[in-house]
Amino acid sequence: MNQLKILVWTMELQTEPLAKLLSSPSKAAVDEFFIASFQTRNLITLPNALCKKLATALSLEESEILQVLSQHFIVTSFQTVVAARSLVSHCLYNNLSQDGVRSCFPPGFHPQLATLISTIIAFHSAEWREELIKSQVSVPQLVESDWRLDIKAASSTMAQMAVPSAVIDLKVLWFAMH
């Protein structure tokens, strides 16, 4: 007899790859990296622009930026991007405050980097949540409705007389995906 096994997939937050952002030249570079990671959240591969922002966030030299698109860099940077995307998704889904975001990091994680990342996510969370709501598929919204009940008063056959029919007029607003 076959037994049905139900597997529950839980995604643990991997924050270790985010430690690579310690070598970032500025807070703005880390902020741009998180913005680009969120904007490309539905893409499976890394676009060139995101690779360049990650290279800047990791404070690579100008000559090294030319090598950014190499296979090794994409594989290692993909882990950082996935970690950023999953952390942002987790925080938006659970509506975490800055302290809640800070609690997602393990105790050994660099405290200043954790504070910076939690500040960035908390700052952008309202904007990102609104963007997620706008992009989701939803049912149309009822704007106006009108109805009436018609009763047939005249007919050539008696069976068709006094048969009610309802006429319903619905006006709906469809939300377009962006």
pLDDT in tens, 23-55: 888 888 889 889 888 888 877 666 666 667 766
Backbone angles phi, psi at 69, to 5 degrees: -85, 10
Domain co-membership, 169 together with 103:
no
Distance, CA of 119 to CA of 111 (rounded, Å): 12
Spatial CA neighbour of 31 closest among 104, 131, 116: 116
Domain co-membership, 127 together with 151:
no
CA distances from 123 to 17, 42, 62, 118 (A): 22, 21, 30, 8
Are 153 and 124 within 8 A, CB to CB?
no
DSSP state of 49: H
Buried b (16+ CB within 10 A) or exposed e, 41-51: beeeebeeebb
Domain co-membership, 48 together with 125:
yes
Distance, CA of 6 to CA of 4 (rounded, Å): 6
In sequence order, the 6+-apart residues with CB closer than 8 A to the CB of 32 are: 53, 56, 57
* Bridge partners, residue 149, by sequence: 166
Domain co-membership, 105 together with 162:
no
Distance, CA of 92 to CA of 114 (rounded, Å): 17
Number of domains in the chain: 2
Domain co-membership, 155 together with 101:
no
Q: What is the pLDDT of residue 15?
A: 80
Assigned domain for 105 exists: yes
Assigned domain for 6 exists: no
Domain co-membership, 103 together with 155:
no
Q: What is the pLDDT of residues 93-135, one digit of tens each?
A: 899 999 999 998 988 899 999 999 999 999 999 999 998 888 7
Q: What is the pLDDT of residue 10?
A: 40
| DSSP three-state, residue 53 | helix
Domain that holds residue 155: 141-173
Domain co-membership, 85 together with 153:
no
Domain co-membership, 152 together with 120:
no
- Longest distance between any two alpha carbons in the chain, whole Å: 91
pLDDT at position 146 over 90: yes
